[in-house]
C-alpha cells in the first residue's frame, strides 16, 4: 500500500474512533462474506463494522489517544464502531457470536476506557437505552397519575368535610362557636348558685325579724298581767 493510501486509511480509522462513542474489536477468522453482511445488517444503525489492518489501527488509536489496543490487534481484525446504543450494539455482537462461534469478541473501548471481553459481555447484559427510557416513562406516568388523582380528590374531600361539619353543627350548634357556649354556661352556674345561697341566708333573717315583734307583744302582755295582779 502506497504511503498516501496508508495515511488516508489511518485518517479514516481515526475519524471512526473519534466519531464513535465506543468500539469493539473482534476476530472474524472463518466467517464468510455473507455472514459478515448479516452481522452488519444485524447491527443496523448502532454500529459500523469494518475490517482493518492491525498496524494502521494501532497508529490511528494512538492518534486519538486510545491505549491498550496493541495486544488486541492480532490476527484478522474487524472493529465495530458504535454510533448508536452501546448496549444494543454489544447485544448484537454477543448474539451473533453465539450463533456464529467464528466471531470472537476480544475487547473494546467505551468513552476512552479500555474494556476486555468479559466487560463487553457484561455490557451486553444491561438493559438497552430504549428499555430504560420506557421504564422511566412508565414510572413518570404512574407518579403523574397519582398526583393528578390526589389533586382531583381535594375538592371532593373538602366537600365531604364541609358536609360532615354541617351535619355535626346541626346536632350541636356549639361546634361552630368553638365550644364557647358551654364555657359561658359554666361561668353562669356559680353565679346562680351564689344567688340561691344568698336567698337562703336572707330567709332566716326575715323570719327572725317577723318573729321578734310577736315575742315582744307576748312579753308586754305578760308584764301587763303582772301589773294587774299587783
C-alpha torsion sign, points 168, 172, 176, 179: negative
Grid cell in block for residue 49? 463494522
Percent of the chain with pLDDT over 70: 58
The per-residue pLDDT for 100 is 95
Closest to 176 measured CA to CA, from 185, 163, 166? 166
The phi-psi region of residue 95 (left if phi > 0; otherwise alpha if psi is between -120 and 50; otherwise beta) is alpha
Structure confidence at residue 56 (pLDDT): 95
Please name each of the domains of the chain with its CATH number. 3-126 (3.30.70.1730), 133-204 (no CATH)
pLDDT at position 137, please? 54
Helical axes 33-43 vs 86-99, angle rounded to 10°: 150
Q: Do the Cβ atoms of 120 and 47 come closer than 8 Å?
A: no
Residue 91 confidence (pLDDT) above 50: yes
Between 145 and 55, name the one with better pLDDT: 55
Instruction: Note whether 121 and 64 are within 8 A (CB).
Output: no
146-177 pLDDT per residue, tens: 655 555 655 666 667 667 767 776 777 665 55
pLDDT of residue 89: 92
**pLDDT for residue 145:** 55
- Residue 202 parent element (H or E): helix 180-229
Span 65-93, average pLDDT: 91
- C-beta separation of 181 from 174 below 8 A: yes
Q: Is the pLDDT of residue 78 over 90?
A: yes
Q: What is the C-alpha to C-alpha distance for residues 46 and 43, in angstroms, rounded to an integer?
A: 6
The whole-number pLDDT of residue 173 equals: 67
Query: What is the chain's mean pLDDT, rounded?
Result: 74
- Provide the phi-psi class of 73: left if phi over 0, else alpha when psi is between -120 and 50, else beta: beta
48-65: average pLDDT: 94
Percentage of the chain lying above the pLDDT 90 cut? 40
pLDDT band at residue 113 using 50, 70 and 90 as cut-offs: confident
**Cβ proximity of 103 and 72 under 8 Å:** no
Burial class, 226, CB count within 10 angstroms (exposed 0-12 / middle 13-18 / buried 19+): exposed
Whether the predicted pLDDT of 90 surpasses 90: yes
pLDDT digits (tens, 9 = 90+) for 178-212: 554 444 444 444 555 555 555 555 444 444 444 44
Name the least confident of 15-19, 103-107, 167-171.
167-171
State the pLDDT at residue 225.
43
pLDDT given for residue 170 in this prediction = 74
Amino acid at each position: 500500500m502506497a504511503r498516501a493510501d496508508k495515511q488516508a486509511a489511518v485518517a479514516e480509522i481515526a475519524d471512526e474512533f473519534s466519531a464513535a462513542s465506543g468500539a469493539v474489536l473482534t476476530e472474524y477468522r472463518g466467517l464468510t462474506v455473507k455472514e459478515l453482511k448479516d452481522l452488519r445488517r444485524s447491527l443496523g444503525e448502532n454500529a459500523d463494522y469494518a475490517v482493518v489492518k492491525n498496524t494502521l489501527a494501532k497508529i490511528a488509536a494512538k492518534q486519538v489517544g486510545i491505549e491498550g489496543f496493541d495486544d488486541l490487534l492480532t490476527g484478522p481484525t474487524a472493529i465495530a464502531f458504535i454510533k448508536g446504543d452501546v448496549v444494543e450494539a454489544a447485544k448484537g455482537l454477543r448474539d451473533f457470536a453465539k450463533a456464529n462461534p467464528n466471531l470472537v469478541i476480544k475487547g473494546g473501548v467505551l468513552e476512552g476506557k479500555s474494556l476486555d471481553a468479559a466487560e463487553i459481555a457484561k455490557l451486553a447484559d444491561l438493559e438497552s437505552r430504549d428499555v430504560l427510557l420506557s421504564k422511566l416513562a412508565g414510572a413518570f406516568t404512574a407518579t403523574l397519575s397519582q398526583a393528578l388523582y390526589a389533586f382531583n380528590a381535594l375538592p371532593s374531600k373538602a366537600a365531604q368535610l364541609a358536609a360532615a361539619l354541617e351535619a355535626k353543627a346541626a346536632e350541636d350548634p356549639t361546634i361552630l362557636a368553638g365550644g364557647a357556649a358551654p364555657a359561658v354556661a359554666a361561668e353562669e352556674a356559680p353565679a346562680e348558685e351564689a344567688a340561691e345561697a344568698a336567698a337562703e341566708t336572707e330567709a332566716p333573717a326575715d323570719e327572725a325579724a317577723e318573729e321578734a315583734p310577736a315575742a315582744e307583744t307576748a312579753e308586754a302582755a305578760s308584764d301587763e298581767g303582772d301589773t294587774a295582779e299587783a
